[in-house]
Structure 1
Amino acid sequence: MSDQDDLPKLLDDCVHCGFCLPTCPTYVLWGEEMDSPRGRIHLMQQHADGEPLSGPMVEHFDRCLGCMACVTSCPSGVQYDRLIEMTRADVEREHPRSLKERAIREMVFRLFPYKRRLRALRGPLRAYQKSGLDRLVRLSGVLERISPSLAAMERLAPPLGKAPRLPERVAARGERRATVGMLTGCVQGEFFPGVNAATARVLAMEGCDVVIPKGQGCCGALSLHSGREEEARAFARRTVETFESVDVIVVNSAGCGSAMKEYRTLLADDPEWSARAEALSARTRDLAEYLVELGPRAERRPLPVTIAYHDACHLAHAQGVRSQPRELLAAIPGLTVREIADPDICCGSAGTYNLFQPEAAGELGDRKAVNVDATGAELLVAANPGCSMQIATALRRRGAAIAVAHTAQVLDASLRGLGRDALTARGS
């Protein structure tokens, strides 16, 4: 059965009760009914009944972060995640965007899902940052005048150091307990290579042989969550092929893990790939999810640091992984975990959202930074590269001296006995 056959029931599941309203970031910002899940479902019904996609309708759909907080809060089980993805696919097929919008979108989707292109960008971007030109460009506001999306892209780029390259296999320390495949990701791999290195070390120290296929590409998350269905399916097929020989695929990026668990739906109508996609989705695990399933073996050494843990939307809402990261962090001696107020309100990253909707994303980032700063933590821990960049940028804007790290880096520092300075000096 196709998505379009499912659409009437998916729309009818919504009883317009309003439980989603206080969990929706854009409704929280503006209080506009059509910028809530309930309002957007009303617009989706209008389109299903034959009304063409108008500019204002598309604007309300574009303003949605796809954070899935409404899915978690809905008492009726409305599958808003499927609805917004189907609607975005309709938008991409039917709605003519302006030349400027098309140019920005094409630039983003021709760059970020391609590792070689990102890698080619690293050198010039690193030189640009080291020269201090980045500060002058931001002060001048020149990029903001050309394009707010370009300005957001430049502002969000994390400080770049040397990028260590991982081997294709990292051997287990001591007796082998499992063999796992590891997704390195696009943005994670090129902008946060230290996270991947830490992930591989932690898995190895916990007794896993880690297989890191050299030819792996993009998982398709950015394309899938932006309505570019065929592009997402092509990336998905390649990822299925790449990891078909391993029993478990461990993913350290929330958006990527969520997309790979959705392959079963994305390729459901493809007779050649549906069973293979279903099998891969069933074998995909977030890093924290997998480590809790595996159970600890390596010794945790003291790490006297106070952290604030951030729930990435595609980890907490889309995958339901909330307790596992906290369980892993709480098991580290000396470490204190503090909760952030309004944890279910998105930070504004949301894949490409902070590039295409920079003003709304900035407001949400500033709200999150205020709540992170209020914890008094020395370190923010997040499990998604987009969240790390978004919140780190907002913290810098606020002047808050809080470093940002991934759960894998905190575990790695404890297992290797590196101490707090290895994390708090690292920054984002």
Structure 2
Amino acid sequence: MSTPRKVTRRKFIQLAGGAATGAALASVAPGLTSAAAASASKPFGMPYVRQNRKVRVAVGGWAQQNMSDLLEQTEFTKKTGIDVEIVLRTDTKETELTRIVSAVQADTSPYDVLDFEDELATSLSQAGYMVGLDDILPAEMWDDFSPEMLEYSKTWSSLDGETFRVIHNWEMPYWWYRKDWFDEKGTAVPETWDDVKTMGEAFTDKGNNVWATEDGLIKGAFLNVYLAWVTLQAGGNPFDVGDAYKQALEYTYDLMYTHDVFNPASLQKDYNQQNADYIADKVAFMRQWPFFGDVARSEDNTEWFSDDKVAVTLPPVGPGGKAGSTYPAAWGFGVIRTSPNLEEAKELVSFLSTNEVAVQAMKVGFWFLNARKSVLAEAPQDNWLVQQMKMYTDAGVIGVRPFHPQFVEALTILEDTASSYLTKQMSLDDSMKQAKAQLDALK
């Protein structure tokens, strides 16, 4: 098991600063040794003799009530004798990273269990701040994960073959379209990159600022997400700065400036602005994360909403094939190495990782929705979000989010160089040369 790495002032600045500028939003599956499996299979329900046991778990404000309800309904404290205090983590990943780095270097911890996202997972694992979990995870858990969740966990929740995060929120962008518009024009929903190129003729009306498609591509939180999936659709990883990345950039540029399909103003928009344009009847087809479904169905949009305005289809397939058409991002639970309640923290994470509790969690709130087999089997089949996740899972279109070991620093490099090309400030060759040189300097 690794030990915390001493972080120099320079590395601290790289970690915290990299997150601030870049943040948005093994060949076999991780497994258990026989001894670990036997340990993890012990039933809950027998409190330890020691009294006054406690654990602090940090979650985002949006998840506080769900977490409280879950612990109450599963009777974790009654079964284990461990009191749980739910505290709020800071509101951004960069401030959270700063808090944890400072605390761990002082051999303390602001909480014991942390609910955290991909960007923080990369930084904290590389620094050696998270506890390995394989010896306490239920033996049943890995068999319950879908193949896509297993691949994701190997890449984003493990380091050197050791699992340090158990994901519970696992979701991907969906492709939304105005079915009412498509039906009116007799236009087929695009199934390939080539199909997307023809959409400008049917839907783009520059005079009225209506576009066939749009995205949120502003730097600092959004452009890197787009670059990752469009390069994945091309069959590669953008951090390789190879042929697939070049093809993805050229495709995006041509959609904007040659085919009049993709609104170039996307480079100055975030997701809220993108959603507002769609609801204002300015966009026919778009990639967006699941939260848009709740936005469209909110009370503010009651007069506008109808099912045929927010239809969901499978992603258009790129040169890389359908298996890399989209990718999920995730949140999950981990244990901070300097936790003052280390034993209790491990017991809580082990408890939350069981199949039974995973199903109960999903029923408490969709913050706990993922593609575990037991979760999808028990999820309400008439719910739009469950339907979309099952459709994408069954279609085999979910790939693994492109990874770089110095993720937050690397994505900033890609954003800066790609935006220079997409705003016509730099040639494609120069953009790629600069990206390649700066990424090589990180090694």
Q: What's the TM-score, normalizing by structure 1?
A: 0.29
Bigger RCO (CA 8 Å, 6+ sep): 2
From the two aligned structures, give the one with the greater helix fraction: 1
Higher alpha-carbon Rg? 2
